[in-house]
Amino acid sequence: MLGANWSNRIHHMDVQLLLLYLSPLFLAFVCWEMLYLRRHGAAFPTATYQWRDLVANASLALMHQGGDALAAIAIAYLYDGLWGWRLLDIELNVWSLLLLFLLQDLCYWLFHFASHHVRWLWASHVVHHSSERLNLSTAFRQSLMYPVSGMWLFWIPMILIGFPPEAVVATVLLSLGFQFFVHTQVVGKLGWLETIFNTPSHHRVHHASNAKYIDRNFAGVLIIWDRLFGTFVEEDATEPCRFGITKPIHSFNPFTLTFHEWRDMLREARGLPWREKLKVLFGKPAGPAAS
């Protein structure tokens, strides 16, 4: 009965709207952080809110949601079709939901790692890293091009195993909701939680452009994957994080922020032989890939 109840609940809810349902909570925390930084901003000079940056982040969030909404129908049909080829019929219960969470978190780590090492994916992901500030509103700084670059590909294995598509999508969105809270500088280290979970400290490292921090800490919810795969780096108090990308894009125009890397990548690939063209499109981004 537990499995049937969970399946019915997930099937009948519009999982695509989960982050929209959570948006009042996100906005409340943004307001709290903004007020906090008015008093304590001197201690966090790259965290304070600037209106041009905030408006760019909000505009990118709206564009991202619009792009996802347009792509959601096609992706839903694809996932439903692939589920027809599933290996197992997985009943949703406490244990299968725990397994779903772990597999989704691993798949997210793989997506995030690939997004820093494959230029086609980086062309979308660079938008999230392009600000030289880091505060909770940075979590809204997303690209509408994720459906084009292929983020949805990374959840297909779970559907083929036998997890219902609605449950997979809901888990992905809840993971992204959790990640909103790690985009802050006002929270220090969190003791033993740092060993298991992605935290603001770990994610500050991920957004930093310092040489020792680049392409590290790809965690979604759990930091254990970075520890297992050798991509974990601790935040070092003697080397403060410098935020932004190694090739700064000095613009607050959401269209420039969305398409500048696509433009550069396609321009470089134009006219090259196919083998060289593929290297440009799917090789590692030129120079350090990151954030």
Mean per-residue pLDDT, 83-91: 94
Mean per-residue pLDDT, 55-61: 97
Domain, as residue range, for 75: 49-282
Mean per-residue pLDDT, 39-61: 95
User: Would the pLDDT of 68 be above 70?
Assistant: yes
First-to-last C-alpha distance (Å) of the chain: 46
Position 34 in a domain: no
Q: Both tokens of residue 44?
A: 């966090």
Mean per-residue pLDDT, 36-59: 95
Per-residue confidence (pLDDT) for residue 287, from 0 to 100: 53
- The band of 19, judged by pLDDT with boundaries at 50, 70 and 90, is confident
Position 7 in a domain: no
Position 4 in a domain: no
- The band of 18, judged by pLDDT with boundaries at 50, 70 and 90, is confident
Q: Are 223 and 199 in contact (CB under 8 A)?
A: yes
Per-residue confidence (pLDDT) for residue 5, from 0 to 100: 52
Position 198 in a domain: yes
* Highest-pLDDT range among 15-24, 68-77, 84-93: 84-93
User: Would the pLDDT of 289 be above 70?
Assistant: no
Q: Both tokens of residue 168?
A: 């997979």
User: Would the pLDDT of 290 be above 60?
Assistant: no
Position 214 in a domain: yes
Handedness of CA 131, 179, 110, 70 (dihedral sign): negative
Position 239 in a domain: yes
Phi, psi dihedrals of residue 242, rounded to the nearest 5°: -105, 125
- Give the mean pLDDT of the chain: 92
What are 183-196's pLDDT values in tens digits?
A: 999 999 999 999 99
Per-residue confidence (pLDDT) for residue 49, from 0 to 100: 96
Per-residue confidence (pLDDT) for residue 291, from 0 to 100: 46
Q: Are 131 and 53 in contact (CB under 8 A)?
A: yes
What are 199-245's pLDDT values in tens digits?
A: 999 999 999 999 999 999 999 999 999 999 999 999 999 999 999 99
Does residue 271 or residue 142 have the better pLDDT?
142
Per-residue confidence (pLDDT) for residue 224, from 0 to 100: 98
Using a pLDDT cut of 70, give the percent of the chain over it: 92
Q: Both tokens of residue 176?
A: 């992204």
Does pTM top 0.75 for this prediction? Answer: yes
Position 9 in a domain: no
Q: What is the DSSP string of 166-216?
A: HHHHHHHHHHHHHHHTTS-SS----TTHHHHB--HHHHHHHHB-STTTTT-
Domain count, the chain: 1
Per-residue confidence (pLDDT) for residue 83, from 0 to 100: 93
User: Would the pLDDT of 151 be above 50?
Assistant: yes
Position 104 in a domain: yes
CA dihedral 128, 130, 132, 135 (to 10 degrees): -10
